[in-house]
Amino acid sequence: LELALYDADGETILDSSEGFRDEESVTLLRAPAAGRYFLRVYLSAGDAVNASNDYTLDLVVADADDCQDDGFEPNGDRDAASLLPDGNHDLVLCAGDEDWFRFNIPVGNTVSFQVASGAAGVRIALFGPDGALIDEDGRRITHEAERNGFYLLRASVEAAEPVVYSLTVAGVSGIDLEVLDV
């Protein structure tokens, strides 16, 4: 038997399991939206000899309130990336989720992103206006923009529990001000 988990449209596969074991498993750590999802149990194409099969299905659905979103959600993919200004931001990554942020950075600006040391396992990656990966680091990225445009930052973690992290952003405003005298 094979197993596939589909989104609410009934066509988009969220996870599938096609193996030679006696047990198949699919997981959706964080549903993109509340609603109906579809689970398909089927015979593999090479098993046309077996017209039917008996199986046991175990389904576990956890409470959606186990992880409270931060104020920038929904920003779980590139297309939903949230604008994030300069400053220090306290954020939350839920299991199976990513945080995406976008920044309109002028050419020549030096930007930096740093994850606070208390956020074990959080990794950040910076992508250029063309979508190509510029840098990926566990804690800190500094980059001088070579092109005008929207840059994307992805924060991700491999954890089964929610992770609270702090992200410091500098240089995305396009203006660096310094107080010299008061």
Residue 177 is predicted with a pLDDT of 47
CA angle (109 as vertex; 105, 112 as ends), nearest 5 = 85
H or E element at residue 102: strand 98-105
In the DSSP assignment, the letter for residue 63 is -
CA distance 99 to 30: 13
pTM of the model: 0.64
Three-state secondary-structure class, residue 46: helix
Residue 57 is predicted with a pLDDT of 83
- Whole-Å CA distances, 84 to 109, 130, 142: 16, 19, 16
CA distance 5 to 36: 11
CA atoms within 13 A on the CB side of 138: 6
Q: Could you list the pLDDT tens digit for every one of the 182 residues in the chain?
A: 788 888 888 888 888 887 776 778 777 766 667 788 888 888 776 665 666 677 888 887 766 556 777 788 788 888 889 988 888 998 888 777 889 999 988 888 888 898 885 656 788 999 999 999 999 877 888 999 888 889 999 998 877 777 888 888 888 775 544 555 65
Cβ-based neighbours of 94, under 8 Å, separated by 6 or more = 29, 30, 66, 67, 69, 162
Neighbours of 158 (CB within 10 A): 10
The two beta strands, 123-127 and 38-42, are unpaired
Alpha helices in the chain (DSSP H): none
